[in-house]
Chains A and B, each alone.
Chain A
Amino acid sequence: VTPAVVRILSELVGRPVAPGEFVTTDVDRVMAHDGTGPVVAATLAKHGIDELRAADRTVFVFDHYYPPATPREAELQALARRFAARHGIPVLAGVGIAHQVVVERALVRPGTVYTGGDSHTCTAGAVGSLAIGLGATDIAAVLASGRVWLEVPETLTVRLVGRLADGVGGHDLALAVVGTVGVRGALGMVVELVGPGLETLDMSDRLKLTNHGVEMGAVAALIGVDDRCADWLAARGGDLSFADRVPMDVVGEGADVEIDLGAVRPLVARPSLPDKVQPVDEVEATDVQQVFVGSCAGGRIEDLRAAATILRGKRIAPGVRLLVGPASAEVLSAALADGTIEVLVDAGATVLPPGCGACMGRGGALADGEVAVATQNRNFAGRAGSATSELYLASPVTAARVALTGRLDRHAAE
């Protein structure tokens, strides 16, 4: 079976390409956020480049620092806005995390190349987009030229079989995949998820899987398009013209890695790498000062609802900060409409604006020695505050249980 990335790039380049080959190709969609956008603008100005061939395919999403908390942040956003206005680039501010917004609004097309100025751009691979995270200077180059250079990546196929057990969610599965493959296991490669287990997963779970692609070192993560994905995109006005380049591989013959969904248990990743994965019921007990349910990994409506099922009618432990970060305004609206937010707030949660929230320690920073449990994808040392703070990664269900007791221990698995 030809890997999906090779099929997509061969179509775009106009001849069969092979892994390792240097190619240049058209980019169908470009994204920068309020961290990378201002750097893109300043870098292009520094090099005297003002003609942008991909301006009509570009979107800016303000998510990391919105609303601005300091004059400097406001200034950088104003710079990005002036640049965007001059080039006719739309700015989406306060509507959520770029990685959620681009799929929610079907701004990416299956079977084409999407480059975003953020490492979790790989999330959009769940809708069959070859979604590649880049730095700001690379994004500036794509914006100027409409093209990107790539060394055609090798592919690591991960075959999913079976069905998740009750009480186990897509977040546990994503941690299981990262734990199995490892943080270097897919370095420079594309992780392609295949196998019959995919059909049992909803779009939220699939987005969790591709979101974690970069945590395995991958250039991109891909899931082919099936009816569920096509219907989901079509309902959002998506363009499926090139979806036939990336059909879902539900067989997954000869895969590199196989994971039985039925064997996945509730998991955490211990500090300070996302592949330090361990079953919750084997974890060494620790007191926890902050719980974050949010981010591009774990801030979708399904995640908020999962947390609410645990927290309904209860109160979080004294001294624990429970922060809820809806991944988008659409998620927040849905959670308001169905009563999820009410349940969370009644339990003692603080609701953050739609956006990246506490993932980077903004709106929920950690003091020296503090411990947090978060539904985000990274637990690097110092990621969310003090260099001596510690981050555990877990599902929204596990995180909510920890918020009730203020303690991560084996009981968080029940």
Chain B
Amino acid sequence: MTLTGAAYRLPEPVFDDVNTDVIIAGAYLRLPEDELADHAFEGAIPGFREELGEASILVAGSNFGCGSSREQAPKALLGCGVRVVLAESFGGIFFRNALNLGLAPLRVLDADRLRGMTTGTTLTVDLESGSVEVQGGRPLRAAALGPELMQIVRAGGILSLLSHDPHALG
């Protein structure tokens, strides 16, 4: 399963330890889901949606999505057109939420190259092998999503999986 798109590298100081309060502030959590995207990174990255443009692959550092369990964070990113997040590591709850909602989180092993990524670079991400082709450069290596997690991704999230097979979790 591969996804191709342009990279958007998050600007300093919103690169490492990005918490979900910063992705979507508490004041917006009760908004209808289609309005969340308007407030993504509000306060931290002025004009985020314009900055992001057509890019669909977010590039971050360590511990992306730490903190609150609010799944409005991945929903806000999906609403902005983001389909993949490449990061050195993820907050555990964000990682699960992303998988469940159709946003692919991939842990990249060459962390320095994430840091040096130029916004606009075209990337092709293979979720199963963890290989990321980089336009005009060497491929990046990421931890592949295992067969169990790929089952969730292919189904379109944990609830789609369960609605087709109520015994998918045993």
Binding site for B on A (CB under 8 A): 22, 24, 35-36, 39, 43-44, 46-49, 51, 65, 70, 72-73, 76, 117-119, 133-138, 140-141, 144-145, 147-149, 183-184, 187-188, 214, 217-219, 273, 360-362, 378, 380-383, 387
Contacts and interface: CB of A to CB of B under 8 A. Distances in A.
B1 interface: no
Contacts of B3: none
Contact of B166 (A51, A118, A148): A51
B30 interface: yes
7 contacts: A22-B146, A46-B159, A134-B69, A137-B71, A141-B169, A378-B21, A387-B25
Contact of A144 (B22, B62, B100, B162): B162
Contacts of A136: 69, 71
Given A380-B22, A382-B25, A183 B17 contact: yes
Contact of B148 (A22, A73, A119, A187): A22
Given A140-B159, A144-B159, A135 B27 contact: no
Interface of B: 17, 19, 21-22, 25-27, 29-30, 42-44, 62-63, 66-71, 89, 91-93, 96-97, 100-101, 146, 148-149, 157-160, 162-163, 166-170
A184 B63 contact: yes
Nearest to A274: B67
A297 B26 CA distance: 18
A44 B163 CA distance: 9
A376 B159 CA distance: 33
Contacts of A48: 163
Contacts of A36: 69
A295 to B, nearest CB: 13
Contacts of B149: 22
Nearest to B25: A382
A183 B88 CA distance: 14
Nearest to A48: B163
Given A119-B93, A148-B169, A387-B43, 19 more contacts: A22-B146, A35-B70, A119-B68, A135-B71, A135-B93, A137-B159, A141-B162, A141-B169, A145-B167, A147-B169, A149-B169, A183-B66, A184-B66, A184-B89, A187-B89, A378-B19, A378-B67, A380-B19, A382-B44
Nearest to A53: B166
A362 B27 CA distance: 8
Contacts of A49: 159, 162-163
B69 A361 contact: no
B44 A387 contact: yes
A73 B21 contact: no
